[in-house]
Amino acid sequence: MKRLLNSCDINRTLIGDLLIRSLICQKYKINNEEIRFIYNEYGKPFVENFSDFHFNLSHSGEWVVCTTANFNVGIDIEKISEIEALKLANEFFSEEEFYDISNINSDEQINYFYDLWTLKESYIKTIGKGLYTPLNSFSIKKESRTLISYKNIPKNFYFKQYNIDPNHKLSACATRDEFPQEIIIKDIYAICQNIYKFESKEKINAED
């Protein structure tokens, strides 16, 4: 089972790489071979020579997701599993968040845990510090379906959640309140076609 899960993770990672390369090729009209990734001291990737292009990837279950912008962004998707929500919240979340989960109906605790987990992960990925920012060093609260409040996070951060399917939670974070209203779903064929299209043009130009 461990070997199978690792294989699935590798496949999703490869699809994520294809997805971001496809978007870069489409946006900048460049060949895939021209794309170079660089990393900050915490391991967050950027595209060399395109400092105004920010992106973030996440994958879980059947989904690979990506967000792009000309400002800092982060995204996280998690497949909902049967977990001990209270135990994990006590271990990883702030006291305020643990209190909130403890005071909702037990049948809603797992869903709310994944709401908070993906929101918190999307923030950490936006600031680009990864595991160097403890999950319990800040607090997030869902006041309603669309209203999200937070504590110990700078004011210029914004959050949005998307309904991708009943078995996954998807959250995004950004330094501007400029989220798309809907998500765009692409299959692997369309992603690869985007990359091949610009490679084909490059070959034609070279032959000319």
User: Widest CA span of the chain, in angstroms?
Assistant: 69
Residues, the chain, total?
Answer: 208
Name the residue with tokens 């305020």: 96
As a whole number of angstroms, the distance between CA 38 and CA 59 comes to 21
146-151 contacts, C-beta under 8 A, 24 or more apart: 148/119, 150/123, 151/94, 151/96
| pLDDT values of the chain reduced to their tens digit, one per residue, 208 residues | 234 345 567 788 999 999 999 999 999 999 999 999 999 999 999 999 999 999 999 999 989 999 999 999 999 999 999 999 999 999 999 999 999 999 999 999 999 999 999 999 999 999 998 888 999 999 999 998 889 999 999 999 999 999 999 999 999 999 999 999 999 999 988 888 888 876 655 544 444 4
Query: What is the rounded CA–CA span in Å between residue 154 and residue 23?
Result: 30
Q: Residue 196 has which token pair?
A: 């091949």
What CATH number was assigned to the domain covering residues 2-180+187-207? 3.90.470.20
d(C-alpha 99, C-alpha 128), whole Å = 28
